Amino acid sequence: MKLIFATHNANKTAEIQQLLGDDFELLSLEDLSYHQDIPETANTLEGNSKIKADVVYDYFNLPCFADDTGLEVESLGGEPGVYSARYAGEEKNAQKNMDLLLNKLEGINNRRARFRTVITYKTKAGIHQFEGIVEGEIIDRKIGDYGFGYDPIFKPKGLDITFAQMSTEQKNQYSHRARAFEKLKAFLKKT
């Protein structure tokens, strides 16, 4: 089954293709030569995910899904949250985002955080949303060479390594995105 994934992010596409397996063929926006940036103007992950799915579905008129993910830090009132990708500015620079977050957490003992992903799946039959959450904490420095985004400073609860120290296979056993996509995969197999 072919599915459009409303993303330009090659890392994300590879991660999700591995999660969904051979039953599904993912087509990213890059694969489809769709180079427009879809504005994320909602103030929730659910809203941004739906905006992206709506735009892509309306353009291609094919089943598609979109996701939005946020890192929510307890002591910062849920920051960066929906603004995670552009926390340090519109250029969406992961290093600057991590540096800003680490600076804000300097001297703060409560470093509990969670990653939350919301997926919106859209077809002519309607819209379905799926959520995945992983609890953890923000460590005090970047460790690891894998992954993307905040992975080098996020350590999942119960583990002694960051997401950036895990292979894609390992990360998919724990990640928020994997949990949300497992729900999507189960839904797709039923339909």
Active site residues per annotation: 68
Amino acid, single-letter form, for residue 152: P
Q: Pull the structure tokens for residue 131.
A: 């959520």
Q: Which of 135, 183, 190, 191 is nearest to 20 (CA)?
A: 183
Amino acid, single-letter form, for residue 14: A
- Residue 146 has, within 13 A of its CA and on its CB side, a CA count of 13
Q: Which residues contact 61 (CB under 8 A, 6 or more apart)?
A: none
Report the DSSP pairing between strands 64-73 and 79-81.
antiparallel
Three-class DSSP category at 115: strand
Distance CA 146, CA 162 (A): 9
Q: Which of 8, 115, 15, 133 is nearest to 70 (CA)?
A: 115
Burial string for 31-60 (b: 16+ CB within 10 Å, else e) reads eeebeeebebeeeebbbbbbbbbbbbbebe
Q: How far is Cα of residue 91 from the mean position of the Cα atoms in its chain? A: 17
